[in-house]
Amino acid sequence: MIFLLACFASISTAFASSYSERQLDALAERVGRTYWVASVNNRTPSFLSAVATKASSFRVEPNESFEITELVGRKTDHPYYKVKFASGKEGYISPDSFHEELNLTIL
């Protein structure tokens, strides 16, 4: 399990392959917030290089910060968070992966 230190209290949303408008609005509330990656068992979260489940993935170093810059794909069944790392690199992560793989905690 990967832990991610967050700068706010997480918003509870249901996990589903499609989201209601209310759930999408709740997910969008994370846009503009900054998070820090923490390694657990020498493993960090995996991010995608594009908005596609088969896109290449990459990992970042522990303690690297990233900002969620956008919730893309609101009109599809599979939205993604677009993120920008402190290094300038951009990536994507699905809300489901964000919640399942990255356990949020409050600083």
| pLDDT at site 101 | 66
Return the higher-pLDDT residue of 22 and 18.
22
Predicted TM-score of the model (pTM):
0.76
Long-range Cβ contact pairs of 43-47 (< 8 A, separation 24 or more): 43/2, 44/2, 45/2, 45/4, 45/93, 45/97, 45/101, 45/102, 46/93, 46/97, 46/101, 47/83, 47/91, 47/92, 47/93
- Give the model confidence (pLDDT) of 52-94 as tens digits: 878 999 998 888 999 999 999 998 888 999 999 999 999 999 9
17 — pLDDT class (breaks 50, 70, 90): low
Cβ neighbors of 72 (< 8 A, separation 6 or more) are 51, 79, 80, 81, 82, 92
Q: How many CB atoms lie within 10 A of CB 105?
A: 12
pLDDT at position 47 over 50: yes
* Mean pLDDT of all residues in 87-106: 78
